[in-house]
Structure 1
Amino acid sequence: MKRIERVYQQLLQIWQSASRNTLLQEQGTTTAKLADLMNLARPNVSADLNRLVRSEKVLKVKSFPIKYLPSQVVISVLKLEKLNYFEVDSLTELVNKQQNVTPLIKNQAVAVKGKNPLTEMIGYQGSLRKAASQAKAAIMYPPHGLHMMLVGQTGVGKTYFANKIFSYAQYRGVFSDDIPFISFNCADYYHNPQLLLATLFGHAKGAFTGADQDQPGLVEQADGGILLLDEVHRLPPEGQEMLFYFIDNGVFKRLGESQKNRRANVLIICATTEDPHSTLLKTFLRRIPMTIEIPPLNERPLSEKIELAKFLFQQEAKRIKKNLNVRIDVFTALMTADNYGNVGELKSQVQLTCAQAFLNSIDATEVTIELNDLPEDLRKHWLSNPAKTRHQVELSRYLDTNTLFEVGKKTVTVEKDNIYELIENKVHHLKRQGVSNENIHQYIMTDLHLHIKRFFRQPLTNVKLNKFVDQKISSFVVQLKQIAEKQLHVQLDQRFVYYLSMHIDAFFKRGNQTELLLKNEVEKIKKTHAAEYQVALIFQKEIITTFAVKVPDIEVIYLTMLLSSIRSLSEKKQVGVLVVAHGTSTASSMVKVATDLLGNGNIAALDMPLTVSPNEILQQMATMLEKLDQGKGVLLLVDMGSLAMMTHRLQKKTGIKLRVLSNVTTAIVLDVLRKISYVDMDLDSIYTSIQQDLAQLVTNKIAAPKGSKMILSICMSGSGTAQKLKKIVMRIIQQSQQAEKIQVKTVSVLKMTELIPKLAEEYEIIAAVGTKRPSTAIPYISLEELIAGNGEQRLMSIIMQRPENEQLVEEQNVVVSSMCEDVLKKHLIYLNPFIVCKLLQNWLQQLQLQLGSDFSNSQQIKCIVHTAFALERCLRQKSLQYQEEPTIEVQHTLPVVQQTLNASIVSLKIELSKDELYLITECVLNY
């Protein structure tokens, strides 16, 4: 079961027996409580809950703190017909809203019937989430919806998407069931503009040669419904002008008519494979307010591609009226082929594959689809693809060895096959392709390892093994487990008993089929896995003695390979690597490049948006570290020193041995992955090796220091921003008591390239701060990081030369002080800006402790400046009025803000009004 399903089931279990009074009183379960109950990371639970809200399975109650309830429980207990809202301030508000709701209905149709058609699209909650949201907004926009432009490559499914939009409109009651959906491809009449316009708008008798009677056009036929114009970029300029005139006024003329104006009410959906801005009139585009992009197949996640392929195979099973049994290699070939782009082409490939398989199994009741059934180009691509093993590993997360598509069933079931069938089918195929025995051995070992790995990673179910195999076999395998542990010096868990029991059971059921597979490789396997081979020989004797059956030598080889794979899973442990970088995809992009080039390893990426608080970062890092650690420690590769400073806290929280390197680059990730995968190095050795490489790099790029240390302050002109930054940096240096040792130099971006090497000859450049990163290997802190992030802590660490694992002593935030004092000096008349700034910084420290929050520099600056102005207004008796109805969150937070603020500003003898306190609370909550 996926984590999101476990979260939902846990929430359901909590509330499924609740009474109405309990529901209204408690309002739901908090994220923190759910995370504690399930022993999961809070950010992960929060993300899953919000996804469940978007899928309408969970109701979000925006109290303080926020709580969640299963939608089906709310509907049942509160006796509601359905839910129209999935985010509310309270359950009382929900009941009131539900009772007074008036759905948008046109043509007197019944609103919201059946299942939402958009949810049936693969990718509705993934790559098509934005497109679906835009479509819903366009359909529901009063009074008649918004015209839409669907943009995407050929074959991405624009027509399919348009049909789903129409179905959604009917589902929501915007259109009744008898309203038309008319589709027209403008490319059909591209070379005859006159006929194209006549088809769209109709024509009068005698309008052109052959027009022997009046003929209504598609616009008239689509009256009250939707008109889909595919390949709309083929519409000539005069056609676009007629269309936007119709959009503006709702009137049109048939071709050849001069007097009569006709009317129609049509929602237009355009579709194009081209850039609309370069192929269509701007005056036409202005009439199509909603542009929806449909992503190509290669930009959709692997899980969606697999679901699409499954859907297409299910459709083919329905067409040929036979069950389809599809090998995982077929999916691998389809998913990894990069010579086609979209769903339409994938559909063609699936149909060609099924047609060939059907021909080969024309008399069979079930069609098995193997690599041989693939089109020639796809089969060759799979055989020549060096990354096929890695791709198969990725697919194995979603598919088993075989996938069965049954006729008449919408769901896809999985068929578990035994190891003999897996090996024999692969060997037969590879031999037919002329693959050498040595390569066959490599392929088989890889497949075998993956097969076992998938099994060993699955959680053990509560179903007893004896339901599947004879109890005598399972008891016998327990004895074999003890023999293997003693001989191989390994610890094997209950999964070994499950797996080997089913394997031996399959061996007995297989009968006397003794085809000698891999005959030429037997000696090689004996030598390569000598210890496992000796244990397999013991297993052979024990099986013969216990069950009185013949065990051929090839079975000993199978058992040797099984033991080898299982042993490698239990013994091969690696140093873990976690790459953490700010941004939406910085870390994951670097890891992807490395794994694409070097294959998968014990490595993971964590992308950190700038809005995430330090506590959230710490929690997410701790969760990932626990997953990566295999007992040999984890190397942290981070982009900023602020992340590196968390090492001590992470080590204390997780108990995992950590080393950290800052200023990560793709080259460093590549080098680290190479060393953990292909070189037998421990954590300290890898860390020291990379450090030495970086030190050499810096030595090569910047001359050895000859004088005092220097920090560069960089902006476009070298003045203005750079001068302001220089003052802030000098204050930080003074606080560190290193003022006599470090200089600050302002540098223009335009002269940076020529000036820095010259300065490096005289000074040791320890850091650069500003708006542009130097091209040399100098620690760099951006303006944004210094002002709104944790740049000050990182700079202080560089100045003080603190070890990476030393926990920082919290100091007064110089950046916040400096920025606030500058603003307050200009605008405060009665209050001392320096005293007020210091008092309010102390207030924010206490407030963050009370709320359990970490405010960014930007939020601190905003709160201090706003509150200082509020104090000034109170002195001048010009307090602001709070005009809004306070939310529950504001009401809960106000007492904490009031108590901590009054305690901090008691020396000022100023009493803030309740209205000003409400406004300050909203500022604290970052509204």
Structure 2
Amino acid sequence: MRIDNIHQALKQFHVQNPSSKATLLPATASQLSQASGYTRTAVSEELSELVRKDQVVKVKSRPVLFFDKDYLEEQFPFFKSSTCYDSLASLQEDIYQQAEQIHKKKQLLKMNPFANVIGFDGSLADAIKKLKAAILYPPNGLNILLTGESGVGKTLIAEQLHQFYQVKMNQEVPFIYFNCAEYFNNPELLTSHLFGYKKGSFTGAVNDQKGLVELADGGFLFLDEVHRLTSEGQEKLFTVLDKGYFTRMGEAEKQRNVSIKFIFATNEAVNQHFLKTFLRRIPVTLAIPALAERSMKEKIQLILSFFLEESQRIQKNIHIRYEALKQLTFTHFEANVGELKAAIQFMSAQAYLEVFDQLTETICIEANEGTVKEQPDVESLLAFNEWIPNDGLTIQYNHFYLSSQELLKSESLKNDRFYNFLLKEYADLKKLTLSTEDALAIMQNKVEQFYDMDIFAQEPLAIEAIDETLQPKIQEAIVFFEQLIQEKLTEDFQNILIVHLYSAVFYSAQMNETFYSDTKNIYSGKVTQYQAAKTMVDFLQTLFGISFADTEILFFDLFIRKVTAKKRAHSVEENCGVIVVAHGAATASSMVEYTNLLFSTTVMRAVDMPINQSVEETLEKVRTIVKQNQYKKIILMVDIGSLVYFGNAISQTFQMEVLLISNINLLTLLEVAREVIYESTAFEYLLPVLKEKNHRALICSKGRFNEAKVLIISCLTGMGTAIKIEQLLLKTFPNELLTNVRIITLEKREVEDIDRLHSFVRKEEKIVGIIGTVKTEVPDIPFISLQDLLSKRGIQLVFELLGHHLEEKQNQELLKKVSAKYIQGLSIEAITDLLTVLNPTTISIELAKIYSDICLQTKIKSDEKILLRFIIHCACMLERQLLNPEYDPTAYEVSYRELPEAVSVIKMAFRPIEVSYNLLIPPLEVRYIYELLFEKA
């Protein structure tokens, strides 16, 4: 291919014209045109593409100069180049600065050897602090015992402690290592190895021999697996630990003084394997955490550090797939860090073998099917994804100067949430075999939800933390953006822009070609700040000298809308209130707090409804907010129950339009907030948008009730008494008050089953209240008891249920007329006149006597309201029994044995009635009478 030939010509140019630290020799397009045989225009075109692919470095001088990126980084192994420089001098300055950074890093490691230990500022921070204090404690430091499972790094800690001591004391001292398992079963051999021996002290002792204790004089003696020492072996150390002297084997008369810092290590339980007298001589005991106890960041750092070692060993770049990193991170290694390192060496060897005969600079690490994987929980997986991009990580073998922490930070900066979201969603949608148009349509709906929910979750990042070559350009981009929107960015917004710009440069250089072309129109129809966003992207392309993906226009559209949202929210708040009402002590408050914080606004207000707060109290709180803020209209968002009726109540009280949205959750709030703040508060705009997203929304227009109403009348059976109440209401209320009202009669049990209750209500209807003989526990639906209905306030209560508020003069006049008519019929005789078979006077007297007898025998207090209920219910029940002899309530299979003892009193009290009217009152009806008398209304 032409591009490959031109790239090869550039590489050959460098071979023939080598650069040095003092002199950089780049190629021009004209020189490469002569070398390759292609026209200068063709060469320039392909070189620009190679720059975009991060394979060639461009210097924007006259003429434009080019370097092969790999050649530069081979010449200067510490150097990590950018893709574009303003001048040759700026490239040389970059090389010099990076060389200086390497020098500083080496100096830092000399000053603090523990800086090279993964976890020194994390899980090991406390232990390292104590170790430093112990080893420097005068006069000779304190003896130390390190505990922890095999492979956790006890030896490394001991070695770094030795390095630290040398730096602090500015002198070299010995570090002697000994594994006690080697001679644990031979005390004499152990003694000779530790303390040395005199010539002739035993057969084979042909010379005087120093022991490990003597060799460690002035420095450190590290005894690993010290638990393998027998009690006798531990006791042999007592003298040197206590007195600081020892004697060689066969030389009892001569004491030798030493100054030694002992470090012991064990992977066994301390209390089970050591003499107490031995432990008393070791004042500092520290546990080194197992690999499983390390943080997610430290696990990944350990993995990368071992791959970095392997890349140096084989002199190749190593690309580690996402699944391979995930497998290594979540696999439980019995031998901890040591086993992890061995696993990485084996995976690297496998990958190296695959490309052994190939001319490739990079090997690829795949997930190993032979390794047992642990299933991570959701929280751990999210933490892992914070650090690891979807396409894995690549380690450059010539970047040996980078620590695993710096490498991880470098990669995590490229792990921009915006691009990771787009790439992941795009890949998932492509798997569904959707057309490009359908996939983009779905992504358009998802991308704004993501932006609201996740954009602030980036790790905070100062501009000084990114590549120094990009710092001035990113700072320039921030200044330009602020001038473009004429607003100063907050620290949070600056952080978002810094991370994103760094990532955008990276992704634009390595963008998947198919993704790049397919998502070209992802912002179609969604960009409201197109001109400003396009201006920003054009500026960035000129500033960085690269082509950005078209998705950048979408990013900056959303970003501009986000930044300017607070200013717009202020004007929104002056005209249109957004009030959220929900059940629970803090449900509404928590959702509103989150949404306001996310959008940097205070436009939303919350009203909570704790379980002990009535519907009327809650409604009054909403009215207070509307009144105090003098809203011209409101968007009212509620969850369930009677709260869905607040829209009409507010609309009528304040004579304003109310957009009512019900069945809300957090996602609903976010979508409404986005539309209100970014788009419009016009109800004619919001209503179709919300319905398109399947939200339940309607407009309550200035007190006019647009929904049909349902009034439920309930009694124990749903028949006699309930029907009589229905007839009474229809007879008392004029037709104009019952317009658009449907009355239905139900049994008590049907009302108390919420799902069953709503099955009787049509979609366009709402339940305005329940009237019943026995109170039903239905949350948030107003209830009027029979005795309240038959009181002087009864009509007023029904008026309010139907939404006819008494503040209006017209309703007050109508109430007077209806109440007069209603009160006239409240005598027992007038009510029982509704009976068709029974003699009202006779049956009322008989039932009154039965009620008196029951009260006397059961010792309950007589009450006129209960008497009234009792007579009405029982009269209707008896008439029903006479008119419908085929009605068989025993089908409910209720027997007297299942009923309370007081039921027998009721049964006996009604015996005269049964005889007089030749009927039998079934057990179920007797139970209803019992509940009417003994249950609280």
TM bucket normalised to smaller: 0.3 to 0.5
TM-score scaled by structure 2? 0.37
Larger Rg: 1 or 2?
2
